[in-house]
Structure 1
Amino acid sequence: MPEFWVEKRVVIAPTPRDLADAVARRFIARVVKRTERGKVVHVSLTGGSMGGAVLAAAASDARIAQIDWSLVHFWWSDERFVARESSDRNDKQSREALLDSLPVPRENLHFAPASDDTDADLDAAAESYARELSRFGIPDRPWPAFDVCFLGVGPDAHIASLFPDRPEIQVTDRAVVPVRDSPKPPPERITMTRPVINSSKRVWLVIAGADKAAALGLALAGASYESVPAAGAKGTQRTVFFVDDAAAAEVPPELIDREY
């Protein structure tokens, strides 16, 4: 019998659109709650179709007008090392979906280096992003504790740019690493490592589509994170898999949270 991680919650919505709306509502509620108390909020965003869909849904939430966006910092768990305005950039997708419409100070948008930056180099880009994270580090680690870390999950169960059975997934002594010859194009990327992701207060994995069902099932069954990176994603307070009906085909009923 597989051993399930009971601390992981699974929340199901009928369709990808319903899923994006549900996650967006929770996200905005979380930011409102923190900023109303004058707390600084660090958020790690992700790319992919659902990453963009959640932000687009958030853009239509009337509560964004009551948020003090000077308290909110945005990061990306991984980035494609391509030109700054390339459509492959995760940050470009995020800007178009939501960020460009918000009064977020430029210094609160922590973009990873691009391939067309001056003296661009993949290794230097990873080191530069790690230094930026360290500017907001907390006493026991050189990076912030994200209030929410969004992650997508690929059909191969990768998260960020941590792919199965590759050395990046095993790195624990650095915050950011370069990725070369990525199994998924574009080939060059930088990615946060597991220690950074797993120090987040809340890890929210947003998954839609029948092609993700097997990966989700393995992640919930406690598979090895080296071969199933999504299985190793875990927040310090909450780990929630937000999924649509199609992706939930292999979710054990006892793991479904119908109240969260």
Structure 2
Amino acid sequence: MHHPPNPLLLYSFPSDDLPRALADFVLKAQKESIEKKGRFTIALSGGSLPKQLKELINDPTVKWDKWQVFYADERVVPLDHPDSNHNLCKSKLFQHVPIPPANIHHIDPVLLDDIEELADAYEKELIREFAQKDSARFPVFDLILLGLGEDGHTCSLFPGHELITESDRWVAYLEDSPKPPPKRITLTFPVLNHASRIAFVAAGAGKADVLPLVLDNPEERKLPASLVKPAHPGQLYWFVDDAASVNVAFSKTPFKL
């Protein structure tokens, strides 16, 4: 049984309870961000994450008109393609809530045939939202929600890939993803690690083996998920279900915001 370093903001729940706890966490981040600067900037991943956000759909405290949504990574496919993270988030969340379409920042489908220009255009979309309002070298998201791959990847940042060392670009592209589809764009580690809050969301027995490796990862292994280390100490959270955390020993204290 793996014992993670302490303190670790890792919360484990029965699978049915995970979405409510995650929603409460998102709502707290939303409230603090809107009170501070009048908007809430969030980056979302695909995979199983969107369905974990289902508790937000009927929650009257969500200020959808204040949300500015980006994607932590995206597959270079049409917006209505089954592999599209935007399509997944739309079907599981956004089509059920009154968020203004202009507040959802997706890739430009006109540029699918030129991946370099596509990535540049998405970076410019980030610049429009952040550079005029914030003075940081990199955008500072209020919250980034990340998934965890069984190989330890997060976003489209894969073990052993050259993008792990990218230090300048906000948005990078790859044409050789080890998981299909091969063409993707992704936020880079500097962007991830400048976020005010990052929360990993991992559910299911398929994550049970990789989770302890990520939580206590030797530098030489360089699992991408373990390279997420926010510049704001104490602002990295893990929301997992009990099936995913079965190989992790930690004190299961009550979840409190």
- Which residue in the other structure is 1:169 paired with? 164
Deviation at 1:133, TM superposition (A): 1.1
Q: What residue in structure 1 maps to residue 175 of structure 2?
A: 180
Q: Which residue of 1 aligns with 2:248?
A: 251
Distance 1:54 1:149 in 2: 14
Residues 197-231 of structure 1, C-alpha deviation per residue, up to 9 Å, x if partnerless?
A: 11111110000112212221011113338631111
* TM-score of the aligned structures, taking structure 1 as reference length: 0.87
Q: 1:127 to 1:38 in 2, by over 3 A?
A: closer
What whole-Å deviation, never above 9, does each CA across 1:116-148 have from its counterpart, x for those lacking one?
Answer: x157311111111111111213212142x1111
CA distance in 2 between partners of 1:172 and 1:12 (Å) = 33
Q: CA RMSD in A?
A: 2.2
Question: Please, which runs of 5 or more residues in structure 1 have no aligned partner?
Answer: none
Alignment of 1:93-112 (within 5 A): 93-112=88-107
Alignment partner, residue 9 of structure 1: 9
Q: Give 1:216-227 correspondences, 5 Å limit.
A: 216-224=211-219, 227=222
Is the contact made by 2:77 and 2:112 (CA closer than 8 Å) also made in structure 1?
Answer: no
Distance 2:250 2:217 in 1: 16
Partner of 1:58 in structure 2?
56
The one-letter amino acid of 1:29's match is: K
**Aligned-partner Cα distance in 2 for 1:223–1:57:** 36
Please tell me the residue identity of whatever aligns with 1:97: K
Q: Kindly state the Cα deviation for residue 193 of structure 1 after the two structures are TM-superposed.
A: 0.3
Give the distance between the partners of 1:180 and 1:14, measured in 2 at CA.
38
- Whether the 8 Å CA contact 1:166–1:226 is kept in 2: the answer is no
- Where does the alignment leave 5 or more consecutive residues of structure 2 unmatched? none
In the alignment, structure 1 residue 21 sits paired with structure 2 residue 20: yes
Cα distance in 2 between the residues matched to 1:101 and 1:257: 33
Counterpart of 2:198 in 1: which secondary structure?
strand
4+ runs deviating over 6 angstroms:
none
CA distance in 1, matches of 2:164, 2:52: 26
Which residue is 2:113 aligned to?
120
Match of 1:44 in 2: 43
CA distance in 1, matches of 2:72, 2:158: 13
Shift of 1:21: 2.4
* Aligned twin of 1:229: 224
Identity among equivalent pairs (%): 32
**1:139 maps to which residue?**
135
Q: Which residue of 2 aligns with 1:211?
A: 206
Per the alignment, residue 72 of structure 1 pairs with 67
| Distance in 2 of aligned mates of 1:120 and 1:35 | 37
User: Could you say which structure has the higher helix fraction?
Assistant: 1
Q: State the Cα distance separating 1:259 from its structure 2 match.
A: 3.9
